[in-house]
Structure 1
Amino acid sequence: MDIRFEQAEARFEERIVLHPLTLSLTERRIGVIGLNGSGKTTFARMINGLVAPSAGRVVVNGFDTVKDGEKVRADVGFIFQNPQNQIILPILKEDIALGLKPRKLPKQAIEAAVNGILARFGIGHLAGRRAHELSGGELQLAALASVLVTEPGILIMDEPTNQLDLKNRDLVERTIRGLDENIIVISHDLSLIADFDRVLLFHEGRLAADGLPGGIVARYREIAA
């Protein structure tokens, strides 16, 4: 993973949401924390081109998020706070297959890929279920499957344990810890990112601290106090 922010800024009308940022990210597991409205979600969305920089640029694995947007989005999967919103088709297996359709693969290859990703996350029994029939934890696993079936090099997750009960939160946390992909996780669940390689703390639209989880979480507690 090679992500570079080069004096990248995000401005919505006259309001600066993310002040100019120069940063390089190469670690495999990166946590992003901060108070609500601190700029962390905007930062994450700039990585896959959902938010274009109003100044400077963002480069992901050699591709500019504006000039090479399609290539960046193909390599950066994004799971939103409410995963149900990104499950488009009513039946789970059909939704997972949808992401493979642009590749014009044979039907058998698509079916094999879908079955493989369902098996990877232990949700093969949910293949014929509808999104509204799934628990919160099952929805997160379904969203993971629908994104990772396309084999992105980087996965971004926005508050993956938000509003989950203890059972489903534990399920999702175990799954995240078992992922082989490069991951960037935005989270208020500090235990989730406690063993990550690097943690970024955003505050009032600026990068306030950057380093190993222990020290950065301690700094966050000071800010939040």
Structure 2
Amino acid sequence: MGQKCRWVQAAKCQLLVASLFVMLLGLSIAILAVITYYEKRFIVISEVSLETNLIRTFHSLVLYAGICLSSILTIAAVLSIVATWRDMKSALAVGFFCFAVVFCASVQVAYWTITNSTEAEDAMMDVYDFVYEEVRSSSSSNRSQELLTIHETFLCCGKKLLFEEASHIESETCQSETTGTTNEDCLQEIHIFLKKHMRFVTVLMIITTIIVVYGMILTSFLCFSVHFNNSLDRKDKYILAGR
């Protein structure tokens, strides 16, 4: 019996520590979602007026998904801490459920960022290509301003493969203030930016998955321990009453 108590106490201590890490992860995910939402390079692409601008949908979805995941992680951490101190089986069960939800979501996000991260990159490049071709084929001041804004934000200038063919576009939409970076290919800059961003998201999701799995193991173990102890207490009371 003493050995079981030591195992339970060790699990409680580990769950408390894990809950603190879960809170930090929740905060990190919320910060990442906010940073992504207010990142100028995402904003400038999402604000391009297109009927099917997938980046606009992706931009909003990231914020809502990040806030939801952060909230669920925080709730799971708080419930785990309360349940650890008071041996509340119901709180442990709800905490396990929250961890399970985050586990499914984080696995899905990590899988998507590893296998389908090029979809966001292709969508951003498609938007840039559309604006660039619109400026080439017409003299729309609105499109020229959008292209100029993209160049200023990404510190790039046009597409290298088309420099000779459409050099007038670069001269009109690339500012001299960005000297030294205006020769950078915008498609390459978009690729580099998204690669770094997705790498950070993938690492954060992998860490979240590991911590959440550990939390699921601890909460399930403690939930069964509390249930087992309550069953023993009721059995002892029944035997004592029978005597």
Q: TM-score range by the shorter chain?
A: under 0.3
Greater share of helix residues, 1 or 2? 2
Greater share of strand residues, 1 or 2? 1
Q: TM-score scaled by structure 2?
A: 0.24
